[in-house]
Amino acid sequence: MTTGGPALRPDDPPILVCADMQAQNLGEECISAREAARCIALLELWRTELWPVLHLKRVAQAAWFDPEPNLTDWAPAFRPRPGEMVFEHPLPSAYSSSRFAEFMASMRGIHCLMAGCSLDETILATVVEGFHRSHRFAIVGDAVLCAPPGAGDPERYRAAMTHALGKFAGIRQSGSLIEAAASAA
């Protein structure tokens, strides 16, 4: 399903928002190699084209309760590079970071593509809050990841979450974005 996403124009590309690409979120229960490859392909395309990339990092858990302190570190393939924006947020919505809220409020007419982890937390909360602030988001439906609660089917859960978010944001697919970038070049 592809709906209401911005056209991919090299002169005004959307900001790629990589949500919570941290070691704790990239366990086998949250991600398959297929989604990881799509996220990497999008990130590499944005970096190659020198288009804007923004990273969100959830910092909610207290480190002293976790025996593995490196879990909130970036996954190596998704580590931010110099010049890429980084926002740490304590609550599910990235808007819980005052820096992120100020950044989004100061930018007029931008649109963001969201990919990454925590579809049912960070991506959900950020997109819905952004919708209520009149900010434009689209979700890369085949490059968003989440672990189903309990023993549910991960694909069905992800599809249901993506469908629900379609009420608040456009849904794009990584292949169409990559093709659009290639044809625009």
Asked whether residue 63 is domain-assigned, the answer is no
- Who has greater pLDDT, 16 or 34? 16
Distances (CA, A) of 123 to 27, 57, 68, 128, 139: 18, 12, 25, 8, 8
pLDDT of residue 2 exceeding 70: no
Q: Is the pLDDT of residue 63 over 60?
A: no
What is the pLDDT of the chain when averaged over all its residues?
83
In this structure, the strands spanning 170-172 and 136-144 are parallel
pLDDT of residue 1: 43
Q: Is residue 148 part of a domain?
A: yes
- How far apart CA 38 and CA 178 sit, in angstroms, is 10
Among 36-40, 81-85, 96-100, 147-151, the minimum mean pLDDT is found in 147-151
Give 97's pLDDT tier (boundaries 50, 70, 90).
very high
Judging by beta carbons within 10 Å of its beta carbon (0-12, 13-18, 19+), is residue 149 exposed, middle or buried? exposed
Q: Is residue 107 part of a domain?
A: yes
Residue 123 has pLDDT above 90, yes or no: yes
Domain that holds residue 136: 20-58+76-180
Q: DSSP for 91-140, please give it.
A: SSSGGGSHHHHHHHHH--S-EEEEEES-IIIIIHHHHHHHHHTT-EEEEE
Residue 1 lies in a domain: no
Residue 68 is predicted with a pLDDT of 54
Half-sphere exposure of 109 toward its Cβ, with a 13 Å CA cutoff? 2
Find which of 107-111, 127-131, 154-158 is predicted with most confidence, using mean pLDDT: 127-131
How many domains in the chain? Answer: 1
| CATH code of 30's domain | 3.40.50.850
Asked whether residue 15 is assigned to any structural domain, the reply reads no
In a domain? residue 4: no
pLDDT at 42 over 50: yes
Instruction: Give the pLDDT confidence score for residue 29 in this predicted structure.
Output: 47
Report CA Rg, the chain: 15
Written as six digits, the tokens of 163 are 């469908």
Would you say residue 6 lies in a domain? Answer: no
The top-scoring range by mean pLDDT among 6-20, 49-63, 83-97, 142-156 is 83-97
Q: Is 39 part of a structural domain of the chain?
A: yes
